[in-house]
Every structure is written in structure tokens, then in C-alpha cells.
Amino acid sequence: MPTFVHLTPANQIKRIRRGGIRQGRWGVYCMPVVPVYYVAHQWVRELRRRGQRVLAAVYFSVPDDEPVWVGRYSEPHRLCAASEATSEIMHAADPEGYEVIVQRSIGPAELRKVRAVPQVLGWRYLPRQHERPPCLCPYCSRGDIKVQRQKRYAERLARQADSD
């Protein structure tokens, strides 16, 4: 039985211990527990960016043959068995950005443990985003902090490139 980890706001832990993890619109988002801790908990910073202060990890198990959706964020997912999804992520060349969706609620009897997680673990926006220059268009930079400073810096670099 593969073990999965679901990241949730810490203030929801008492409710989850009592009633389990409720299925959202698409299901329960989770990651398989793999030998690399970072891969299993990579979503912490991205979820915190959306306004959650403190996140906790809820570990649960599902049967090997349970159908789940697996794939990279914002790419098409495929339906497969839970054990196959775990193996795919574990053996992927770049496992960052993967997610697993269980299409049902997780009952309290299926929960294994609840733990605090480091709040600075993972990536923001997209995996490997810090390796690309930021998009400064009005849509992408809407609501970001210090956008004007980034735009001035980009303009200064463009002027330097033109003068060279």
C-alpha cells in the first residue's frame, strides 16, 4: 500500500483527524512518499504563496490498485494505479511539478500520521522558475511585490544591451 502526503493548513488538522480529508472539486491532491523528502513535500512554498501561513503534512495509505490521476501541474494527467503513480514519480528524471489526485475522500481510518513540515521547502510559481527571467507583463505580474523595481531593472539591462 503506497503512502501519500497531503499538505493542508495547520489549523485544519483537528478537523482532519476527526473526519478525514474531504474531497475537493477534483479530488484529494497529494504526493507519494518517496526516498527524497524534497520531492514528496515540494508543494509547500507554492501553497504558502496562496495565503496559507503554516502548513502541515497528513500521511495516508491507499490500496495498490486504487485508480489515481498522475501528471505534472498544468499538463494532462493520466489515470493509473496508485502503485504505478508512485513508481512513475520515483523514477522520473525530473520529479518536480508532479501531482497525484485521489478521486475520493480519505477516511480517518486511512490516516497514518500528521507532522509539521519546514515552511521554506519547495519551489514557487513553477519548478525551476528561478532559472528563467520573470515575465513582467501586466497579467503575469499582477499583485506581485516589487514589480516596479523589476521593470526598471529590466529596462536598464535592455538599454545596456542596446548601447553595446
pTM, two decimals, is 0.77
Say if CB 23 and CB 105 are below 8 A apart. yes
Q: Which residue has the higher pLDDT, 88 or 149?
A: 88
pLDDT at position 24 = 87
Q: How confident is the model at residue 129 (pLDDT cuts 50, 70, 90)?
A: low
The mean predicted confidence, pLDDT, of the chain is 88
Residue 26 phi, psi (nearest 5): -105, -20
Q: How far apart are CA 37 and CA 40, in angstroms?
A: 5
pLDDT of 53 reads 85
pLDDT band at residue 125 using 50, 70 and 90 as cut-offs: low
CB atoms within 10 A of CB 16: 20
Q: Which pLDDT band holds residue 47 (cuts at 50, 70, 90)?
A: confident
Q: Which of 57-66, 81-90, 103-112, 132-141 has the lowest mean pLDDT?
A: 132-141
